[in-house]
Structure formats: structure tokens, C-alpha cells
Amino acid sequence: MPGIRPGMTTERLGMTATIIDGKTIAAQLRGRIAGEVARLTSAHNVTPSIAVVLVGADPASEVYVRTKSKAVAEAGMRAVDRKLPATTSEAELLALVAELNKDPSVHGILVQLPLPPQIDSHRIISAIDPAKDVDGFHPLNVGRLASGLPALVPCTPLGCVMLAKTVRPSLAGLEAVVIGRSNIVGKPVAQLLLAENATVTLTHSKTRDLPGVCRRADILVAAIGRPEMVRGDWIKPGAVVIDVGINRVAGEGGKARIVGDVAFTEALAVAGAITPVPGGVGPMTIACLLLNTVRAACALNHLPPPAV
Ligand code: GUN
């Protein structure tokens, strides 16, 4: 929509929502992480390092991996990129994970998903050393998060909660509704919101009266992967809306454009605050991956957690 910029209050335009500027918030977080990386390197001779493993040549995954590696280098960290052919066997990938687990110079391991069909992704994730599991997908970290114990937690959910807290510093007692129950976003974001003392409802494709459930939400997290499914009249006036969707749709003149899971223009008129797509949750995912890598590097070297 022309004239709407991140961070702008839209009251002047007869609308109410503040746009949560994920791009700027993520850049600030990356700046603080870079400071911590410099301190760890000079004071302790520890330069946080992440191994990113890509199997095959899925174009979207290649873009993600390139973006991650660039952010890692910009923060002064070390990136070890390992590319394997699409024909790689499960045994070969397990052997690479074992090698990275053993390597003391590697603090974080990320195996890009999805994996080719001959590889069981659960097996691979379970083989990663939980102390190096910067995705927070290992069953031990999933269980620790669910038990309220310190854990490496998934990056996109962590970014969602950080963004919500920029406009509602305390989520205690708020009604939070999460749409989507994936292991990567829906389930862990529900756990993180619960840890913030929100009252959490986790909805999915079988949920009855989804619009009615969403209308109860003070915090609404949409992670369904369906373009603009959440309409303006699903949103409680003043709610904080966190849109995790990244959907490519045909725009005017056949040009592709990226939209979220929320009908943004409709939501602007009702919500109190909303993340844009692009420029909302996406940049926070990468910043949180850097944060998890620094946390892992500190823990593996018996140093106190980073102050960011
Ligand atoms: N593919 C899409 N999102 C992710 C993610 O957060 N981590 C990994 N490893 N793969 C992904």
C-alpha cells in the first residue's frame, strides 16, 4: 500500500495499527550480537561458528542459505557451508553430522529442511549434538522448552515473541492464539508464549469456528502458509498480529509478489500493531539464528550466556 512505512502509526489514514518494523529491530539485534562476537573473540579467543548443510539444489533453500551465510559473516562469525548432492544417502549425511558434532571449532549445526525423500529428517535432527542444535529442533531441546528448562529454541518462534514484546513488553495474562501446529513454528511459538504467561490456544485445520477463536486473541500468530487467509474481521480491535507467512502469489501484470498469511490492508484498520510481509518476522529468524549460535558457543566454552 503506498505511503505506509514500517514503524508508522496509521491513525492519520483512518486506521489504527502500528507497523512492527522487523527489519530495523533485527538489524539492531544483529548489531548487538556483532559486539558480543567481537568481545568473545578478543577476550576469549572464541569466534562463534555455524555449519550450514544444504542437500540438493532447491532454489528457495539456496536463497535462505546464502542469506544466512552473509548475515553470519557480517556479524564477525564464521560460516562453514557444506553442500551435498541431492542423491546423498542418509548414511552419508549422518557421517557429516557426526564429523561436525566432533569438531570443536563448530558451535552450531543447521541442516536445511526439507531434505530429499530418501533421508529421514527426524533421524538427522536427532543425530545433531543438542548443544549445537541452533535450530532448536532436537527432541531434547523441544522437551526442555516444554518443561520450562533452558534450551536452544527455534529461531522463527523466538523472533515472533521478541517482536510482540516490542509493543507489549509483558504478555502475562494475554489471550494468545496461534494458527498452525508445525514443529518449526506453531508448536514452539505456543510454548514460548506459555513461558511468557500468556493464555495460549493452538489452532489448526480441524479447529471449529477459527475466525471466532481468533477474535478472542490479544496476540494473534498466523503460521499457516496460506496467502491472506486471516481476514480483517477475524481480528480483535487493538490486537497484536504477528504474520509468519511468506507466500508467493501472482500480482498485477503476472508479476509475482510476496504476501503473508494475513490480509494486511484489512488488518491495518483493526489491529493495534502488525508485522509486515516482507520486513517483519523474516529478518528476525536470521538474527535469532546468530543469537542461538553465540549462545551455543558460550555454553560449549563454559562462558556465561551473551548479554544481548
Ligand atoms: N527450512 C525452512 N525453515 C527452516 C528453518 O528454520 N531451519 C531449517 N533447518 N530449515 C528450514
The CATH code belonging to domain 45-129 is: 3.40.50.10860
Residue 112 has pLDDT above 80, yes or no: yes
Q: Kindly tell me if the per-residue pLDDT of 230 is higher than 90.
A: yes
Domain segments of the chain as ranges: 45-129, 154-282
In this predicted structure, the answer to whether residue 9 has a pLDDT above a threshold of 90 is no
- Residue 4 in this model has a pLDDT that exceeds 80: no
Looking at residue 14, what is its pLDDT? 62
Is the predicted pLDDT of residue 1 greater than 60, yes or no? Answer: no
CA distance 78 to 109: 12
Instruction: Tell the burial category of 199 from Cβ atoms under 10 Å away from its Cβ (0-12, 13-18, 19+).
Output: middle
> What's the mean pLDDT in 172-196?
98
Pocket test for ligand 1, best of 68, 97, 112 (most atoms within 8 A of CB): 112
Mutate to test the pocket of ligand 1, among 184, 246, 281, 289 (most ligand atoms within 8 A of CB): 184
Atom of ligand 1 nearest to the CA of 61: 1
DSSP letter assigned to residue 56: S
Cα(55)–Cα(72) distance, rounded to whole angstroms?
20
Q: Atom 9 in ligand 1: which residue has the minimum CA distance?
A: 112
Q: What tens digit of pLDDT does each residue of 19-37 get? A: 999 999 999 999 999 999 9
Mean pLDDT of 200-212: 98
Cell of 99: 564429523
User: What percentage of the chain exceeds 90 in pLDDT?
Assistant: 92
pLDDT tens-digit map of 63-108: 989 999 999 999 999 999 999 999 999 999 999 999 999 999 999 9
Confidence of residue 130 (pLDDT cuts 50, 70, 90): very high
The pLDDT of residue 283 is 97
The string over 8-35, giving b where at least 16 C-beta atoms fall within 10 Å of a residue's C-beta and e elsewhere, is eebeeeebbbbbbbbbebbeebbebbbe
Q: Whose CA is nearest to atom 4 of ligand 1?
A: 113
> What is the model's pLDDT at position 16?
87
81 is catalytic: no
* Residue of 129, 133, 135, 261 with catalytic role: 135
* Cβ atoms of residues 183 and 189 within 8 Å: no
pLDDT band at 12 (very low <50, low <70, confident <90, very high): very low
Q: How far apart (Å, rounded) are the C-alpha atoms in residues 118 and 142?
A: 25
Q: Is 28 a catalytic residue?
A: no
What single letter denotes the amino acid at residue 21?
D
pLDDT band for 8, please (50, 70, 90 cuts).
low
The CATH classification number of 154-282 equals 3.40.50.720
Instruction: Kindly state the average pLDDT of the residues 189-203.
Output: 98
Angle of helix 186-195 relative to helix 155-167, nearest 10 degrees, comes to 50
Asked whether the domain spanning 154-282 has the same topology as the one spanning 45-129, the reply is yes
Contact between residue 296 and residue 108 where contact means Cβ atoms under 8 Å apart? yes
236: nearest Cα among 207, 274, 200: 274
CA 74 to chain CA centroid, Å, is 19
68 is catalytic: yes
Q: What is the dihedral of CA 225, 230, 231, 237, to 10 degrees?
A: -140
Question: Which residues have any ligand 1 atom within 6 Å of their CB?
Answer: 110-113, 135, 155-156, 184
Q: What is the reported pTM? A: 0.94
